[in-house]
Every structure is written in C-alpha cells, then in structure tokens.
Chains A and B, each alone.
Chain A
Amino acid sequence: MDMHATRTAAAGPSAADAPIVLEADRVEKTYPNGTHALNDTSVQVRRGEFVSLLGPSGCGKSTLLKMFAGLEVPSSGRIVLHDGHDAAGRASGHRSMAMVFQEATLMPWAQVADNARLPLDLAGMRREESDPRIADALELVGLSQFAQAYPRELSGGMQMRASIARALAVQPSILLMDEPFGALDEFTRNKLDSDLHQLWEQRGFTVVFVTHSIYEAVFLSSRVVVMAARPGRVIADVTIDAPPHRDEAYRVSQPFIDNCRILSQHLSRANRGER
C-alpha cells in the first residue's frame, strides 16, 4: 500500500489541497558544544492537518518544534510561517501560534483562569474581551469549575488541561505540542488524546505534535513525520490511512494496527542503519 501518494479521507479537513502554513526548509541545527541536533530537514505542514513528529530521543523533533515556535534559530536553512496575519495580529490577540510544553508550566501564584488568560493579558486584551474566551477555553478542557483554583491544588492531568486551555484561549490557527501528555499516566493520556482529537475535529486548527509513542501518533494524526537520531533527520512521511473520526474502538481496529506496523517498520529500519 502506497502510503505517500494516497489522498484518503483520513487526512482530516481537506489536507492535501490545503495551503502550506508552516515550513521547515532544509534546516540544520548544531549546538555550540558540537551536538548535531538536526541535519538537512525539510517538513511542510498544511492547514488543518494534525502532524506528529515521531521518533526516539535525540532525533531532533523537539528542536524542530522549537524552531517552528521561534524559540530556537536554525544554524542554516529557514523556517517559514505562512500565516497571512497582519502585524496588528499581536494586539488583537489573534496569535497564529500557541505552544504546549511537556510540563504544564503554570504560574503557581495565579489561579487557573488567570493562568489561561496570560497570553491575552500580554497582548494587551481587555478583560471584557478575554473573559468569554477564557470561559470557553476552560469549558473545552473541562475545567470550568476549577477556574478559581491554584495550580498546586490540581492533579497532573488537570494542570496539563489548564495549560491547553491557555493555548486555546488565543484561538490559534496553529497549535504546537511538545510531548504534552508524556508525564501523565496512561489512562489520563488516552483520555486527553481523545479530548484533543475531538477538539481538533471541532475547531479545525493545525497541530504539530511531538511524541515518541507510535500509538499516540497513529491515534491522533492525519500525517506522521518519522524521524531518526544521530544525526537528527526525517526518514519517512506517512499519511495515516484511517477514518477521520477516531474513538476508543479505533485503537483496537485493523487500520490502527496496520498504521502502527508501518511506522514501527520505518523506525526499526532506521535503528538498523538502513536509512
């Protein structure tokens, strides 16, 4: 089965014809201490896609994501953000991008609602405008009753939800997620995967999701960019052939298993040094 050419319904909202919103063009990253994190990497992300960056530690997936976010600068090559938003976008709070990290990184001195409001506050949005957005975001992640709670009163999963609410409050067109559920237990992780998928279906934003879990990548993504380490590089770009709407039944269905196998094969080949 030719995974690369197939344009299936699985790729979510009309992905292959959608415009490119984010692009890494032959980027490389070498750190001052000599670590060669990324080698000649090119990735394109189209509007509405859910793209996972999948690979083992050291393959440069987090580095690539940080470059998309503007937190790292490539040593060579370029990152292009085709956002089509004007410069005034910052003040009006319409950020093109929001990022969610592996740690919830909430401000411990602020309540959940104020934490979620931070990006809007920094952009100068007035309370009257931001309040409804926060209420909406908290409801989306199921934390409406905890708006007044402090982070230390929440469990790990709830803190991560608060972190996601903060990202959603800016109504991003692109959501960058760096192994956001990696620190959580499997039950919580599956639940959050499910919720995230529903959110993505509803809202239609573009997601770039870093993970080292094949299962998570197959469950969530319309497309998986498989990466390998030493040096960090892309070894495969796999479109996930599966129904667009995914639930728990999908996790044990044949398409799911098939996709996992395909990804797993790519990764093993890389391990054996064949790519």
Chain B
Amino acid sequence: MSASTAALPQPAGTAGFAANPTLVRIAAPTLLGVVLLAVWQFICTTFDVPEYLVPSPLRIAQTLAEDWALLTSALMTTLKVTFLAFALAVVLGVAAAFLFVQSRIVEISLFPYAVILQVTPIVAIAPLIIIWVKDPLPAMVICATIVALFPIISNTILGLRSVNPGLMNLFRLNQATRWQTLARLRVPSALPFFFGGLRISSGLALIGAVVAEFVAGTGGTASGLAYQILQSGFQLNIPRLFAALFLITLTGIVLFSAMAALSKWALRWHESEMN
C-alpha cells in the first residue's frame, strides 16, 4: 500500500469524514505528519545519510528513549522558566493595560517605552540582564517575561477600548459608575482580545526562555533544553539535539493548544467560537 495515496485525506463530502469534522481536523494533519515522517525515514535509510547530519526519525526516537531522564529534567527547567515568565507577563501586562486605560497621561508617557522594549531584540538585551542578575534562573525569567509582555499589554488595551458604543451609551444612560463600567462592560468586552494576546504570549514566553538560555551559554546550573541543544551541538550528538528540539516544539504546541482550549471555553458566547 503506497503511503501517499492511503494517507492523504479525502476531500470534504466523502461520507465518513464529512460526518465528523473534529475527526477530520485531527486526522488530516496527523496523517500528513505520518507521511512526512515516513518520507524522511525513507530518505535517510535509502541514501544512508550520516546521523551527525540528519538523523532519521527512528534514531531520534531511540535517543529520546535512551536519554529520557536527562532530557525530561532539562524540559522541566525550561518549562519552569516559561511558566514563571508567562504568569509574570500576564499579571504585569494586565495591570499595565488597566493603568494605561484609566489614565491618558500615564499611557502617553509610558507607551513609547513599552514599544521600545518590544522592538529591541531580546538577544541584544539578554547578555546585559544575565550580567546584572547573577542568578541564572531569575535572569532567564526576566528575559522571557520581557518577550512575552507586550502582546498582553497591547491586546488588553485594545480590548478594554473596543467597547460597543451602543452599550457604552446604555451604561451612561443608566448612570453607571466608572467601576461598574469597567467591571461589567470593559472587561467582558476585552476578553476576546485578551485571550488572543494570551495565545501569542504563551509561545513567546517559551521562545524567550529558550533564547535566554542560549545567550546564557553553557555552564548555567539551571540547564534547560536550549542548553542541551548547545551541548549536543558541541559534542556533535546530533540525534540528541534533534530530540531536544522535538521536545521544545512539542511544548510550544501543547501551550498553544492549552491556550486555545481555555479561550474556547471562556468565550463560548463570542462569534469567533460560533461554528
């Protein structure tokens, strides 16, 4: 059975698939992935590609199993930095957004600096932070937070300001207090935008954690997956490098999916979830 024809998804309208769209949404990319992996494996085996250039999927899986303990402990470190940074970014970002929306003068004064923070590449700032903050873990958390912060601030501000003018009139008509308007109108209106920011930021927190680790270089006591990638590169242990890379990618996917699921649950009422 040729992998290409059997695994490719059928066009919509075929009885079995059309009956269950969720099935299609999961099965189709999975099947494509399997096909690509099969092709990759095939090329590596047939052309006897050296494993220090491009390891085959099977070799990577084998390395993952062999070095499981090492890699999972590295994964924990990276995850710790990512979650801490993400949590910090959410708290600080939301607080900043509320502050900016309540006071025009604060917003005008501080927003340009937030933008500067956003556009300066973290790889340029990270070395400075690592020198200033001796302890590697807080240093990495700070770097990752900086990367993840801006989307939350800007999306939340946008959301807090994107209030239906008709509803605004309604609240004014009913003499709602500033606090009532904030809690009952602005916050719910802001939620779709906030969750959009959350989805972006979760991935950025991971990127920030990885970049910070790269910049910190080898020898940090807290060694995450990026450190493993660097080490494996130096030692030409390319299969392990790929294995670490795979785990990072998997983390990114899980984070994104978690945020998407959270968003879907919280925004049951929104048009974007209407399908």
- How far apart sit A123 and B169, CA to CA, in the bound complex (Å)? 16
Q: Judge if A215 is at the interface, Cβ distance under 8 Å.
A: no
A150 adjacent to B175 (CB under 8 Å) = no
- How far apart sit A105 and B166, CA to CA, in the bound complex (Å)? 6
Q: Judge if B100 is at the interface, Cβ distance under 8 Å.
A: no
Enumerate chain A residues within 8 angstroms of B184, measured Cβ to Cβ: 107, 118, 121-122
- How far apart sit A150 and B267, CA to CA, in the bound complex (Å)? 12
Which of A70, A71, A90, A108 is the one whose CB lies under 8 Å from B270?
Answer: A108
Q: Judge if A127 is at the interface, Cβ distance under 8 Å.
A: no
Main secondary structure of the interface of A (DSSP, over half): loop
Could you list some 6 contacts between A and B, CB below 8 A?
A71-B169, A95-B174, A108-B270, A108-B271, A110-B188, A122-B184
Q: Judge if A109 is at the interface, Cβ distance under 8 Å.
A: yes
B174 adjacent to A101 (CB under 8 Å) = no
**What mask results when residues 103 to 136 of chain A are scored 1 for a CB within 8 Å of chain B, else 0?**
1010111100000001101110000000000000
Enumerate chain A residues within 8 angstroms of B268, measured Cβ to Cβ: 150
A69 adjacent to B173 (CB under 8 Å) = yes
A123 adjacent to B174 (CB under 8 Å) = yes
- How far apart sit A119 and B173, CA to CA, in the bound complex (Å)? 9
Given A109-B188, A109-B191, A152-B271; A122-B166 close (CB under 8 Å): no
- How far apart sit A122 and B184, CA to CA, in the bound complex (Å)? 9
Q: Min CB distance, A144 to chain B, in Å?
A: 21
Given A105-B166, A105-B167, A122-B180; A152-B173 close (CB under 8 Å): no
Q: Judge if B171 is at the interface, Cβ distance under 8 Å.
A: yes
Q: For residue A69, which residue of chain B has the nearest CB?
A: B173
What is the size, in residues, of chain A's interface with B at 8 Å between Cβ atoms?
21
A122 adjacent to B176 (CB under 8 Å) = yes
Q: Chain B: interface residue count, which band?
A: 20 to 34
Enumerate chain A residues within 8 angstroms of B173, measured Cβ to Cβ: 69-71, 99
Q: For residue B181, which residue of chain A has the nearest CB?
A: A122
A107 adjacent to B174 (CB under 8 Å) = no
Q: Judge if B172 is at the interface, Cβ distance under 8 Å.
A: yes
- How far apart sit A123 and B185, CA to CA, in the bound complex (Å)? 15
Which of A69, A90, A108 is the one whose CB lies under 8 Å from B269?
Answer: A108
- A-B CB pair tally, cutoff 8 Å: 49
- How far apart sit A205 and B55, CA to CA, in the bound complex (Å)? 81
B269 adjacent to A152 (CB under 8 Å) = yes
Q: Judge if B10 is at the interface, Cβ distance under 8 Å.
A: no
A107 adjacent to B188 (CB under 8 Å) = yes
A122 adjacent to B175 (CB under 8 Å) = yes
Given A108-B269, A152-B271; A122-B171 close (CB under 8 Å): yes
Q: Which of A136-191 contact B (CB under 8 A)?
A: 150-152
Which of B166, B180, B270 is the one whose CB lies under 8 Å from A103?
Answer: B166
Which of B169, B188, B269, B270 is the one whose CB lies under 8 Å from A101?
Answer: B169
**What mask results when residues 21 to 44 of chain B are scored 1 for a CB within 8 Å of chain A, else 0?**
000000000000000000000000
Q: For residue B271, which residue of chain A has the nearest CB?
A: A152
- How far apart sit A107 and B171, CA to CA, in the bound complex (Å)? 11
- How far apart sit A103 and B168, CA to CA, in the bound complex (Å)? 13
**What mask results when residues 249 to 273 of chain B are scored 1 for a CB within 8 Å of chain A, else 0?**
0000000000000000000111100
- Given known contacts A69-B173, A105-B167, what 14 new A-B pairs fall within 8 Å (CB)? A71-B172, A95-B174, A99-B173, A101-B170, A103-B166, A105-B164, A105-B166, A110-B188, A118-B184, A122-B175, A122-B176, A150-B268, A152-B269, A152-B274
- How far apart sit A110 and B270, CA to CA, in the bound complex (Å)? 10
Q: For residue A90, which residue of chain B has the nearest CB?
A: B175
Q: Min CB distance, A132 to chain B, in Å?
A: 20
Which of A105, A110, A152 is the one whose CB lies under 8 Å from B170?
Answer: A105
Enumerate chain A residues within 8 angstroms of B191, measured Cβ to Cβ: 109
Enumerate chain B residues within 8 angstroms of A119, measured Cβ to Cβ: 174
- How far apart sit A118 and B176, CA to CA, in the bound complex (Å)? 10
- Interchain residue pairs A-B with the least CB separation, the first 5: A105-B166, A109-B188, A122-B174, A109-B269, A122-B176
Q: Min CB distance, A101 to chain B, in Å?
A: 6
